[in-house]
Amino acid sequence: MKDLESLSASQAAKAIAKRELKALDLLLSCLDRIGQRESVVKAWVSLGKENALAKAKSLDKGAIKGLLHGLPIGVKDLFDTYDLPTAYGSPIYAQHYPSTDAVSVALMRQAGGIILGKTVTTEFASFKSGPTSNPHDERRTPGGSSSGSAAAVADFMIPLATGSQTAGSIIRPASFCGIVGFKPSFGKVSVAGVKSLAPSLDTLGCFGRTVEDVALGIAAMSGDHALALVDDLHNKPRIAICKTNDWSLASKETAGALALARFAAESIAKGKVNEIVFPETFANLQETQTRIMLSEMSRSLAFEHEHFTKKMSGQISEQIAEGTQINYSQYADDLLHSKSAQGYIAELFSNQLDLIIASSAIGEAPFLKNGTGDPVFCRAWTMLGLPCINLNVATGPNGLPVGVQLIAGLGRDRFLLSAAKAFALALPDPVLRDQASG
């Protein structure tokens, strides 16, 4: 068996279930990797090493507990954990110990997952960069706000980690780090016990190294265990490419990645893969999403801003101030615009399309000093509540990964996973095909 820390979550879960691999050995391998690399990557806020070791030993002695039996898991430090501190990326909560787990964390434990530690998030899952670096180039960002989770999975510290997305905080880091990131349909995973930023947008998901990995993760996090089995794609889907109205921002490597994705999609599609252009009413969806996010954010963080302003960064304070300037009438109009767009996209997926392929990010991961990257190519899809999955399809001029996202209709998470697996297997690079189930 290859180096244990490099096993995908699905490979490790199968080996543990067959008693070909001990949970303790996998955990020790991951801890060894963390010991070697954490000083460079800085993916972790805290580690519960002793509890994790005790849990692994216990799981090795008992019956197989569930889908995640024996898998070490990183939890974004936005999710409450009863046995580890939860700071939400802010010094305000530096000594905060919740009394309960977030629902999704409790379900992962129930499925046999070993919560190894808390991964770095940006301040309240907003845009202020944390200390984490990109495993492919320590001078560059892994993306935000799920920075630690994406970096830890990409660097083989853990096979699976949780994330959340309000604008582009799963898809963008997955693209920058060259891994699979899955943001399921809005509401698929309970947000109870996770610090809210914008309730109309906040969506929980996870990171893995294969499509089967993230299927396993969301199956456990949501309680929809049928999701763990990724079926083969039996019928050819109707696929379109969407560049969105902000395409002028795309780099050459992003344009190239989307062209390559179109080529790969042709082999699994029903008919030709054409470009879809949305109506004029969709032109400002990104701005609508931004206003909704800022408006809700100003209320979600009202307590912290009122009582602990000096412990908040200038960056987030400016965003809160901007959000308070958006009057409620504008916010209500934006929500109506969002609902109207959701209705249009639902009809589109019902009558014309099964799958959309779009860019995940503007380009390769930017330098750390320039922030966590622009989520512009993710904003609209998040606001529409659609399930999205990032797959790595190309390499940019600096040797860094460039991904695309596959998007399906609301509630069609299981189909999206099947389509993503088929798409990965259609990629020309045999190494990239391993994203299916390698």
Beta bridge partners of 163: 205
The rounded distance, in Å, linking the Cα atoms of 154 and 207 is 9
So what's the pLDDT on residue 280?
Answer: 86
- How many DSSP H helices and E strands does the chain contain? 15, 11
Distance (Å, rounded) from C-alpha 34 to C-alpha 354? 40
* From 29, 104, 126, 169, active-site residue: 169
Annotated catalytic residue: which of 55, 76, 118, 421? 76
pLDDT score of 406: 98
- Note if 196 is an active site residue: no
Cα–Cα distance for residue pair 254/252, rounded to 1 Å: 5
Q: Which element (helix H / strand E) includes 294?
A: helix 285-300
Tell me which amino acid residue 42 is: K
Q: Is the pLDDT of residue 328 over 70?
A: yes
Three-state SS at 230? coil
Residue bearing tokens 């899809």: 381
Residue 271 — φ and ψ, nearest 5°?
80, -170
Residues near 101 by Cβ (< 8 Å), separated by ≥ 6?
A: 79, 80, 81, 82, 109, 193
Q: Where are the domains of the chain?
A: 4-228, 239-433
At 387-409, the pLDDT tens digits run: 999 999 999 999 999 999 999 99
283 pLDDT band, cuts 50/70/90, is: confident
pLDDT value at residue 124:
97
* Interval 45-67 mean pLDDT: 97
Name the pLDDT band for 2 (thresholds 50, 70, 90): low
Residue 169 bears catalytic tag = yes
CATH topology of domain 239-433: Amidase signature (AS) enzymes (3.90.1300)
What's the mean pLDDT when you consider all of the chain? 97
Q: What percent of the chain has pLDDT over 90?
A: 96
**Shared fold status for 4-228 and 239-433:** yes
**Average pLDDT rounded to a whole number, residues 144-159:** 98
Nearest in space to 42 (alpha carbons), one of 123, 156, 147, 195: 147
Say whether 76 is catalytic. yes
Closest among 424, 146, 108 to 260, alpha carbons compared: 424
DSSP per-residue letters across 65-126: -STTTT-EEEEETTB--TTS---TTSGGGTT---SS--HHHHHHHHTT-EEEEEE---GGGS
Span 59-65, mean pLDDT? 96
pLDDT at position 48: 98
Over residues 358-379, mean pLDDT = 97
For residue 165, give the 3-state DSSP assignment: strand
**Residue 207 pLDDT exceeds 80:** yes
pLDDT tens per residue, range 161-194: 999 999 999 999 999 999 999 999 999 999 999 9
223: exposed, middle or buried (Cβ count in 10 Å: 0-12, 13-18, 19+): middle
* Per-residue pLDDT, 1: 55
- Tell me which CATH code domain 4-228 carries: 3.90.1300.10
Beta bridge partners of 207: 161, 181
pLDDT band, residue 281 (cuts 50/70/90): confident
For the residues 418-434, what does the mean pLDDT come to?
Answer: 97
* Active-site residue (options: 126, 129, 145, 200): 145
